[in-house]
């Protein structure tokens, strides 16, 4: 099916507005009991369901997510896929040293079995490297054709400005969801400077799918076990707001998750949205959000329902 594609910053990278967040593909340091075969199937299901963007990072399984994606895409046309990866983790520290980032990109290319990355993000800022120097290293990789767009992630607005001193930043990834709206000022700045924005945790780790209805607990080793969103009283306040999305979803014969993903895709401050998935059926269902079109009133109503989280 033909899809409208989204352009990343001022580059010629184009992607579907919905991507796959691949931290549960091989991210065995983040979630317990992940199976490699399921991870590969999730990626292939995404590509067969009209999604062409896969968002990964070295940090997801310390290279294992990239390795599985490299396997998963072997029988697909590489030029039809937008691959985003990230690096900065150096043991338990962050490192933005130009030479370190250059080596990280080479390692990601090898694990993904490809000769270019469509987007490469500095995953987290370190404390010592001048940000324009770090981004300068990515600009040299861009000139060599090894990456096509430059991103930074988890940077403060001041760090973004510093990183973008030479105008090299094309995209920023940071936390934003209907439950976590603190980055709105940053997002407005990015829009004004034609830098794309991609929010992470768009489904608030599953809470915004509407599937939770009562007390919940997670296995040891699951990053959600200590997440304040899953603790009362905030948890109950969230469930009440999510419930009120259901009537809007019903009008579109859609799920709550699809309706909320459609909201992000219609938000003028957001370029692309990358929900994660633990099962192929989830990614298939999320892909159908590409067909949900909210009217202005519905968009505003969802905005109002979550206004308390601004």
Q: Which residue of 109, 257, 290, 292 would you call a contact of ligand NAP, by CB under 6 A?
A: 257
Counting Cβ atoms within 10 Å, is residue 77 exposed (0-12), middle (13-18) or buried (19+)? exposed
Q: Which residue of 155, 176, 200, 230 would you call a contact of ligand NAP, by CB under 6 A?
A: 200
For residue 286, the minimal CB distance to ligand NAP (Å) is 5
Q: Which of residues 156-175 bind ligand NAP (CB under 6 A)?
A: 173
Q: Which residue of 87, 282, 298, 302 would you call a contact of ligand NAP, by CB under 6 A?
A: 282
CA 173 → CA 6, 38, 64, 297, distances in Å? 15, 26, 21, 28
- The residues near 281 (Cβ < 8 Å, ≥ 6 apart) are none
CA 227 → CA 25, 144, 200, 222, 264, distances in Å? 21, 41, 15, 10, 22
Per-residue buried b or exposed e for 87-106, using 16+ beta carbons within 10 Å of the residue's own CB: bbbeeeebbbbbebbbebbe
- How many other CB atoms are there within 10 angstroms of residue 128's CB atom? 9
Binding-site string for ligand NAP from residue 36 to residue 65, where x marks contact by CB under 6 A and - marks none: -------------------x----------
Residue 274 lies near ligand NAP (rule: CB under 6 A): yes
Residue 66 lies near ligand NAP (rule: CB under 6 A): no
- How many other CB atoms are there within 10 angstroms of residue 74's CB atom? 10
R_g over Cα of the chain: 19
Residue 204 lies near ligand NAP (rule: CB under 6 A): yes
For residue 24, the minimal CB distance to ligand NAP (Å) is 5
Residue 285 lies near ligand NAP (rule: CB under 6 A): yes
CA 47 → CA 111, 126, 148, distances in Å? 19, 34, 20
For ligand NAP, give the closer residue by CB, 109 or 287: 287
For ligand NAP, give the closer residue by CB, 144 or 221: 221
CA nearest to 122, candidates 158, 82, 90: 90
Which among 3-11, 68-76, 195-203, 243-251 is the span making contact with ligand NAP, rule CB under 6 A? Answer: 195-203
Supply φ then ψ for residue 162, to 5 degrees: -65, -45
Q: Residue 60 catalytic?
A: yes
Residue at shortest CB range from ligand NAP: 276
For residue 77, the minimal CB distance to ligand NAP (Å) is 22
Supply φ then ψ for residue 120, to 5 degrees: -130, 125
| Residue of 60, 121, 200, 235 marked active site | 60
| Interface ranges with ligand NAP (CB under 6 A) | 21-24, 55, 123, 153-154, 173, 200-206, 209, 211, 257, 274-278, 282, 285-286
Catalytic residue positions, numbered: 60
């Amino acid at each position: 099916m033909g899809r409208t594609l989204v352009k990343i910053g001022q580059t010629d990278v184009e992607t579907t507005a919905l991507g796959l967040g691949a931290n549960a593909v091989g991210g065995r340091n983040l979630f317990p009991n992940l199976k490699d075969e399921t991870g590969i199937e999730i990626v292939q299901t995404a590509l067969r369901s009209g999604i062409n963007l896969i968002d990964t990072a070295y940090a997801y399984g310390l290279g294992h997510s990239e390795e599985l994606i490299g396997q998963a895409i072997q029988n697909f046309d590489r030029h039809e896929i937008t691959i985003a990866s990230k690096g900065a983790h150096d043991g338990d520290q962050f490192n933005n040293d130009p030479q370190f980032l250059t080596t990280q990109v080479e390692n990601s290319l090898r694990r993904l079995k490809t000769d270019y990355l469509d987007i490469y993000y500095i995953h987290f800022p370190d404390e010592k490297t001048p940000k324009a120097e770090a981004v300068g290293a990515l600009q040299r990789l861009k000139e060599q054709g090894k990456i096509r767009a430059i991103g930074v992630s988890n940077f403060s607005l001041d760090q973004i400005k510093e990183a973008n001193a030479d105008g090299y930043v094309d995209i920023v990834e940071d936390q934003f969801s209907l439950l976590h709206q603190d980055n709105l000022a940053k997002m407005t700045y990015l829009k004004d400077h034609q830098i794309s924005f991609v929010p992470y945790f768009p489904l608030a780790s599953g809470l915004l799918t509407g599937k939770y209805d009562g007390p919940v607990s997670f296995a040891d080793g699951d990053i959600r076990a200590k997440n304040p969103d899953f603790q009362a009283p905030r948890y109950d306040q969230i469930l009440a707001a999510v419930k009120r999305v259901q009537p809007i979803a019903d009008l579109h014969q859609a799920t709550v998750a699809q309706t909320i993903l459609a909201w992000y895709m219609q938000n003028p401050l957001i370029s692309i949205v990358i929900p994660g998935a633990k099962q192929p059926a989830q990614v298939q269902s999320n892909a159908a959000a590409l067909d949900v079109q909210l009217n202005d009133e519905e968009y505003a109503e969802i905005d109002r329902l979550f206004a308390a989280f601004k």
